[in-house]
Amino acid sequence: KAGVTQTPRYLIKTRGQQVTLSCSPISGHRSVSWYQQTPGQGLQFLFEYFSETQRNKGNFPGRFSGRQFSNSRSEMNVSTLELGDSALYLCASSPDSMNTEAFFGQGTRLTVV
Amino acid sequence: DQQVKQNSPSLSVQEGRISILNCDYTNSMFDYFLWYKKYPAEGPTFLISISSIKDKNEDGRFTVFLNKSAKHLSLHIVPSQPGDSAVYFCAASKVQGAQKLVFGQGTRLTINP
């Protein structure tokens, strides 16, 4: 069974640009969550989607958005990039609403210059 | 506001001995706790979890202890093996099944041969 797949693995963008990251959950998993990992703030929850609906949201500005498609694949978008958005973005999937033990992908390393 | 704290950034243990990783939390609403392990260039991997109705959960070499009155949990690894060298994250959620995990900053465990 394939794990959580995130693309791309590495990305370099310029301040002010926007970026879209993709996550394909484990087959059959319906919940997808996104986290940002930085050296200063650690792992922070961005948002969670379940059955194409945003179910939970963290404390990030509106520049961070996401969506989930009918096949459970998810994308997150960051607009008007800032230097501080440089981070490892991790996606996690879970079978349903009763499981907290999420399975993480390898992440997308975003560098904003 | 760091609701989940891992006060030891690093820990070094001799192979075969016990590794004890600690985690404190401040939010009394948390009722489900998890430990994740992370190798470089990989996403976190779920290790073990515990619900607030229990004070101990064991899985092979890994045991998690929860002291609700002290808002403290610990992960014991015995015996420690070189492959256990990684960064360990403690995480908490308010409801079991909720994907909105709050993570600690992580503890880098090094097992010395």
* Other Cβ atoms within 10 Å of A73 Cβ, number: 16
> Rounded CA gap, A78 and A110, in Å?
11
Distances (CA, A) of A60 to A35, A57, A64: 11, 8, 7
CB contact under 8 A, B93 and A100: yes
- Report chain B residues whose CB lies below 8 A from the CB of A58: 100
The DSSP code sequence of A5-31 is: EEE-SEEEE-TT--EEEEEEPPTT--E
> Rounded CA gap, B106 and B5, in Å?
8
- Report chain A residues whose CB lies below 8 A from the CB of B42: 106
- Report chain A residues whose CB lies below 8 A from the CB of B44: 43, 90, 104
pLDDT of residue A41: 81
Tell me, yes or no, if B70 comes closer than 8 A to chain A by beta carbon: no
The separation between the first and the last C-alpha atoms of chain A, rounded to the nearest angstrom, is 37
pLDDT of residue B44: 93
CB contact under 8 A, A102 and B32: no
CB contact under 8 A, A92 and B89: no
Tell me, yes or no, if A12 comes closer than 8 A to chain B by beta carbon: no
The radius of gyration of chain A from alpha carbons, rounded to an integer in Å, stands at: 13
Tell me, yes or no, if A58 comes closer than 8 A to chain B by beta carbon: yes
Per-residue confidence of chain A (113 residues) as pLDDT tens digits? 679 999 999 999 999 999 999 999 999 999 999 999 998 888 999 999 998 999 889 999 999 999 999 999 999 999 999 999 999 999 999 887 666 688 999 999 999 99
Tell me, yes or no, if A62 comes closer than 8 A to chain B by beta carbon: no
Tell me, yes or no, if B51 comes closer than 8 A to chain A by beta carbon: no
Alpha-carbon dihedral angle through residues A84, A68, B99, A105, given to the nearest 10 degrees: -70
Whether residue B69 is predicted with pLDDT greater than 90 in this model: the reply is yes
A17: left (phi over 0), alpha (psi -120 to 50) or beta: beta
